[in-house]
């Protein structure tokens, strides 16, 4: 098939590349000329494991191209994906200006039947709004489909190529046929393509992310309680995760969720409920608790130093909101840095992929180390904010040599408590026994 993808952000680029991988001819559109030029030259603008191989292969095979010319992209495309940002507005509602603006531009270019796909995460009723924009500007028949993405950063290629499910919201038999043919190669193992109405499809994405955010937040609350009563959150996690009704995933406690999806999607669903005069109280609690959880590590640090962090120097491992991505949007590490610096401390940081993005946001607010061990030099303590694999089995002897004190505050529970006792560290993690050897 001939496909156009409008927007080459995270979702758009993964979608376009993976669609090209199954033999489709895909043209991706972006208004950023410099970005398009780089992609035309084979430079991938984001870090996502495995994407670079598919990206380069499909460019070389001329199945994947990039342009700033919307008319060129739309002209021959049978299906047009809109993968545009929907950032939260000042009131928390999703901003649809990019979606509706693109719909207006496309509506003035179509001359024959097209399927217009909302790939972005959008509030309930957006498909109707997009359909209305087309009705205002053209008499050409089109179908607007809701096809939410369920891509996890770090494993997005696998998620797209072998999805748990594909959700397609449309009441058009013609659109169902085209979309079913498009996604057929990705569900050969038997995972379902779920057809439903547009509004149900739109709500499915928000409900899924909000449920997962709630699950994470619940486990963080359990971890906080474990510390107060002397229970071990790892044991509790295993105990409840073995119940198939609950499942093992999204039960690891830590310092809150971040990223581009959960924060804005939970906020948007809560706002949508409010607009429909429904008090979605559990989501309000999730958002409030998550904000507090992002800086729980700073509270532990402050307590250890009796409330005085002025003149202290800390090492911070991990900046991205999760491993295997360079995405720092709503990353807990940024909140930790902000609180430490405000308290008069200095910070040296290291992250395998996220440092350039952090530099672009906070500049020289921190010192950037070339590797994880250089970050430790002279630090009063180490804080861990992201569970990168490279942090899981470090050289503890080298750590001891570099650190001024054998003190670790671990927001991701990377290390075995007994091992930290043996090594003589002060080790403060989330929802587990405090190891005070190095105190």
Question: Which residues participate in catalysis according to the annotation?
Answer: 261
Q: Which residues contact 292 (CB under 8 A, 6 or more apart)?
A: none
Backbone phi and psi for residue 80, each to the nearest 5 degrees, phi listed first: -115, 115
Triad 14, 17, 19: Cα angle to 5°: 105
What region, left, alpha or beta, does residue 349 occupy, with left being phi > 0 and alpha being psi -120 to 50 degrees? beta
Nearest to residue 328, comparing CAs of 303, 350, 354, 348?
354
Q: Which helix H or strand E contains 131, and what residues bound it?
A: helix 126-137
Asked if residue 52 lies in contact with residue 85, where contact means CB atoms within 8 angstroms, the answer is: no
Q: Which residues contact 406 (CB under 8 A, 6 or more apart)?
A: 399, 400, 423, 424, 425, 426, 437, 438
- Please give the Cα distance from 259 to 350 (Å, whole number): 18
In whole angstroms, what is the distance from residue 356 CA to residue 327 CA? Answer: 10
Q: The tokens 């959008």 sit on which residue?
A: 122
CA distance 229 to 66: 57
How does strand 407-410 pair with strand 142-146?
unpaired
Tokens of 115: 């399927």
Collapse the DSSP code of 425 into the 3-class scheme (helix H, G, I; strand E, B; otherwise coil) and give the result.
coil
Extended strands (E) in 104-157: 114-118, 142-146
Q: Kindly write down the DSSP assignment for every residue of 29-50, as one continuous string.
A: E-S-HHHHHHHHTT--SS--TT
Cα–Cα dist 251/265, whole Å: 19
Tell how strand 346-350 and strand 313-317 pair up: parallel
Checking DSSP bridges between strand 79-82 and strand 114-118, what pairing results, if any? parallel
Q: Are 18 and 161 within 8 A, CB to CB? A: yes
Please compute Rg for the chain using Cα positions. Answer: 24
């Amino acid at each position: 098939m001939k496909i156009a993808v409008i927007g080459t952000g995270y979702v758009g680029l993964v979608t376009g590349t993976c669609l090209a991988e199954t033999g489709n001819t895909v043209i991706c559109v972006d208004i950023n000329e410099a970005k398009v030029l780089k992609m035309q030259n084979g430079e991938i603008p984001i870090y996502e494991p495995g994407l670079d191989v598919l990206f380069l292969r499909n460019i070389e095979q001329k199945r994947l191209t990039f342009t700033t010319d919307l008319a060129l992209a739309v002209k021959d495309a049978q299906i047009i994906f809109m993968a545009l940002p929907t950032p939260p507005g000042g009131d928390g509602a999703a901003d649809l200006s990019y979606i509706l603006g693109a719909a207006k531009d496309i509506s003035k270019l179509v001359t024959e039947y097209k399927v217009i796909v909302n790939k972005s995460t959008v509030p309930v009723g957006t498909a109707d709004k997009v359909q209305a924009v087309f009705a205002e500007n053209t008499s050409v028949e089109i179908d607007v489909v809701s096809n939410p993405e369920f891509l996890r950063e770090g494993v997005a290629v696998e998620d797209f190529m072998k999805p748990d499910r594909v959700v397609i919201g449309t009441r058009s038999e013609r659109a169902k046929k085209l979309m079913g043919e498009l996604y057929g190669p990705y569900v050969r193992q038997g995972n379902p393509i779920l057809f439903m109405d547009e509004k149900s499809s739109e709500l499915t994405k928000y409900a899924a992310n909000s449920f997962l955010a709630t699950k994470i937040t619940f486990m963080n609350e359990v971890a906080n309680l474990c510390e107060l009563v002397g229970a071990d959150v790892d044991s509790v996690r295993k105990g409840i995760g073995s119940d198939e009704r609950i499942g093992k995933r999204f039960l690891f406690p830590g310092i809150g969720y971040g990223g581009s999806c959960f924060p804005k999607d939970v906020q948007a669903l809560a706002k949508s409920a409010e607009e429909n005069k429904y008090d979605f109280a559990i989501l309000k609690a999730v958002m409030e608790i998550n904000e507090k959880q992002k800086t729980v590590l700073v509270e532990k640090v402050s307590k250890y130093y009796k409330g005085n962090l002025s003149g202290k120097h800390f090492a911070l491992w991990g900046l991205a909101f999760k491993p295997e991505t360079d995405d720092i949007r709503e990353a807990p590490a940024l909140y930790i840095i902000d609180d430490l610096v405000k308290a008069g401390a200095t910070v040296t940081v290291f992250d395998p992929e996220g440092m350039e993005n952090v530099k672009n946001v906070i500049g020289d607010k921190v010192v950037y180390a070339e590797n994880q061990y250089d970050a430790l030099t002279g630090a009063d303590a180490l804080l861990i904010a992201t569970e990168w694999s490279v942090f899981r089995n470090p050289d503890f002897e080298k750590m001891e040599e570099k650190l001024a004190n054998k003190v670790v505050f671990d927001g991701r529970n990377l290390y075995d408590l007994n091992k930290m006792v043996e090594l003589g560290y002060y080790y403060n993690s989330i929802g587990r026994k405090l190891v005070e050897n190095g105190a």
